[in-house]
Structure 1
Amino acid sequence: MIKLRKNPTAKDARRVLVIDDEPSFTRMVKLNLEDTGNYIVETLNESRKALITAKTFEPEIILLDVVMPEADGGDVALQLRSRQATQHIPIIFVSAMVSQKESKKGFYQSGGEHFLAKPIDKDTLCGAIETVLSTAH
């Protein structure tokens, strides 16, 4: 269960960048995360702007779609991890390629990377973010 904050301050909230080419998905994630009071969310629907947005927004974590038309999630992650300013930011890949049933609970690890299966419910989403942030160096 998600613990809601009654009056969160900006300094308490975690900064999340959501990169996905589907505006309806990024809007839904933003609304769900901000509704908890635990997150400040920036969304981006153009993968080619990921690096500049990550540098200016300074997220603590990035949710990154795997399949996008301009540059796929793997290419974007490689670009982010090759820059000193963004290489430390943990990434959770988001994919409709694997169902929640196939991944057991919707959040899984493969090849050293974290993944979330679409569609994503709020509890799984928040749990995944907190799990990754708690283990990030």
Structure 2
Amino acid sequence: MEKILIVDDEEDFCYFVKKNLEAISNYKIIIATRGRKGIQIARKEKPDLILLDIMMPGIGGLEVLKKLKGNEKTQNIPIIMLTAKDEDKSRIKALGSFCDDYIIKPVENLVLKGKIHKVLSITK
């Protein structure tokens, strides 16, 4: 069973995604609602994939991304960035920081599942 860590400060969104992904796939979903907690969980659990929101209070998603990619234990975990902002600047920054894909919220379940499947199949 593949593990997916969702790091997003919007709890309702996290549980919505968790419920939908578990209903259509055999994933174990772990949730962190703060960037620092997401880093800790990623280091401990070593998920197969991380869904990471860009805009969060405290440590933002791009800073979390830099910390994860700069750490030996987490640098190879694929990351899909999530954001509600459709700005090219954020997209370029995220891709330049080694994220594996980028999704603008709200996202349809089949699109999310497709992107997750694509990233996981590339990294295996």
**Which category of TM-score, normalised to the shorter sequence, fits these structures?**
0.7 to 0.9
- The two structures have a TM-score, normalised by structure 1, of 0.78
Q: What does the per-residue CA deviation read over 1:15-40, in whole Å, with 9 as the maximum and x for residues that have no partner?
A: 10000001001111110111124211
Aligned to 2:81: 93
Matched, 1:70 2:31: no
Paired with 2:78 and 2:95, the residues of 1 have a C-alpha distance of 15
Superposed CA RMSD in Å reads 2.0
- Could you say which structure has the greater relative contact order, defined with CA pairs below 8 angstroms and 6 or more residues apart? 2
Q: 5+ residue gaps in structure 1?
A: 1-12, 100-108
Paired with 1:80 and 1:110, the residues of 2 have a C-alpha distance of 14
Q: Pick from 71, 75, 80 the counterpart of residue 83 of structure 1.
A: 71
Over 6 Å off, 4+ runs? none
- The two structures have a TM-score, normalised by structure 2, of 0.86
Percent identity over the alignment is 35
Q: Based on CA coordinates, which of the two structures has the bigger radius of gyration?
A: 1
* Aligned residues between the structures: 117
Which is worse superposed, 74-83 or 111-120? 111-120
Q: Judging by fraction of residues, say which structure has more helix.
A: 2
Matched, 1:136 2:123: yes
